Amino acid sequence: MMVAVFFSILQNDTTYFGALVGRVANRIAHARFSINGTVYKLIPNDGNNTLHGFPGDLDVFVTYKIDYDYVFSVSMRAVPRNKPTPVNLAQHTYWNLGGHDGGTILKHSVQIFASHFTPVDKNLIPTGKIAPVEGTPYDFRKPMTAGSRIDHLPGGYDINYVLDSPTDVQGVRKVAIVEDRESGRVLELWANQPGVQFYTGNLLKDEKGKGGHHYKQHDGLCLETQDFPDAVNHPNFPREFDITNDYLKRRAIALIHPLFVEGSELFDVQGRRVATLYDVSSPQELELVRSDDKQADNVVIIFSGEWQVITAENTVAAFHGCKRTVLAVSTASSEAQVFLEALEQGLDGVVLKVEEIGEILKLKDYFDRRNEAGNLLALTKATVTRVEVVGMGDRVCVDLCSLMRPGEGLLVGSFARGLFLVHSECLESNYIASRPFRVNAGPVHAYVAVPGGKTCYLSELQAGKEVVVVDQSGLQRTATVGRVKIESRPLILVEAKENSGHETYSIFLQNAETVGLVCPYEADETTKTAIPVTSLKVGDDVMLRMQGGGRHTGIEIQEFILEK
């Protein structure tokens, strides 16, 4: 299965699928630059700027190579014939480790070995500054999913990173590691350029590619190793000018790591054992595996007994504090979930051995929900514009199988495009005991956020379904519904507007002191966590989740929709 996104035939297109872009990759501000005092004007093709676009003639030699070690390398050599010229060639490959038809790359884990980046203006032109990634959505020094903070950026990632990993004896440095946990594929990227442009396919719009598959936004990511963008106009950036008879050599290497099973052992492409398989049918055999420290550091256990839960808990306990990586072979997605959640900690992973693809998809959905936990949802501050007591309605109390802390609640609203953060009943009062498992969420018609970026109606919730619990900062986790109560109660209408927009968002809630909306987070500890709807007034600020409004069975779709 291919992991690079491309066209099956050569054709001209502005998506640059698999293209070698240049003579200067990325953008040149104002479509002009100077060399040795001579100003050169270019043809603008990206607003007032030039994209991927020079004096003199240039010979370019490019070699593409795939060898038996699953290494894909690109070597570039550029030689100017008669005049000095800027050269910044880049390989514009789109990667999707799930395959060319694998869908979005937002679940791909990405690590970029760079502690700084080059900020850009609204036209994506570098400002000339070199800024630290720390504390920004651009920080990928530790592995993060590509989509974990993408909502904080307009459209997605399209930014140059300043690489700072050391070079090896071949003069190349480690640039990035990308992993797709669903397929198990891992990509390592090495290059000798000083920068890499990380791009998340923001402008892909139903592009037809291999096998007739249509690529949509974020269906591929690019890691374009290069010199710094617009370096010709920023003296503080590293810049490459080639004079006659001189030449530029650039190299990028992509590594893909497969595994092979032989008998009871797993090997990598170099023939090194990376894991050992064990058959376990009793606690005594499990103890033998734990004490066998002469084998590989990675252990894959095949359990032949009928028990699942106790077996999983015994395995977690047996290997607690052990440095070895332990995985269990599971024959169903439900069994895999038991191994991954035993004693809260779970095993390090599972090997799914099934015949039905449906089991794989179920486990994929489970991992999607787990990966969402801990990621930040983009919440925005909205100002209340209307508070009005209305008539009776059937309101829904959602009781969860887990407890909520102050600042946590559910995302609920009359419109899917704007969901309010409704606080749980975890706060103490003089008149009623706290119920930290409950959210008095609103009437039956309202939307509520559920895992996978979806919504459902409150009336559709029932025991066993899952919802998304969110706190003031946007940190999310998944929780299971234990009970839903629908009762007739008096309602209050709340409307609010996001400060930078003109759209109005609304929610109906029970008119009671125990029902409240979460306030924006403030460092001042005296600031309230939530405002009861009975005290809510015009001008108060509450937390809102803005997203696409078009929905089909809870799934966001692109369509015209008017709600009021």
Q: Which residues pair with 325 in a beta bridge?
A: 298
Based on C-alpha coordinates, what's the Rg of the chain?
28
Do residues 45 and 51 touch, judged by C-beta distance below 8 A?
A: yes
Cβ neighbors of 201 (< 8 A, separation 6 or more) are: 94, 105, 156, 215, 217, 218, 219, 220, 221, 222
Give yes or no for a cis peptide into 23 (omega within 30° of 0).
Answer: yes
User: How close are the terminal C-alpha atoms of the chain, in Å?
Assistant: 46
- Spot the catalytic one: 92, 100, 234, 423: 92
CB-based contact 189:118 (threshold 8 Å) = no
Contact between 20 and 75 under an 8 Å Cβ cutoff? The reply is no
Tokens of 62: 């490019």
Q: Distance between CA 238 and CA 415 in Å, rounded?
A: 49
Nearest 10 degrees: CA dihedral of 162, 165, 168, 174? -80
- Give me the catalytic one of 179, 207, 224, 408: 224
Q: Beta-strand (E) ranges in 322-379?
A: 325-330, 349-352
| Crossing angle (nearest 10°) for helices 357-372 and 333-341 | 30
Which residues pair with residue 110 across a beta bridge?
144, 178
Write out the two tokens for 441: 């969420």
| Catalytic residue status for 287 | no
Place of tokens 């592009």: 207
Minimal CA–CA distance to 54: which of 78, 27, 34, 30? Answer: 34
Dmax over CA atoms of the chain, in Å, equals 87
CA atoms within 13 A on the CB side of 433: 2
Tokens representing residue 524 in the block:
């001042």
CA–CA separation, 464 and 29 (whole Å): 55
How far apart are the C-alpha atoms of 429 and 44, rounded to whole Å?
65
Token pair for residue 429?
């009062």
Distance CA 292, CA 365 (A): 35
Task: Count the neighbouring beta carbons within 10 Å of the beta carbon of residue 557.
Answer: 11
Q: Which residues pair with 144 in a beta bridge?
A: 110
* 92 is annotated as an active-site residue: yes
Q: Please give the positions annotated as active site.
A: 92, 224
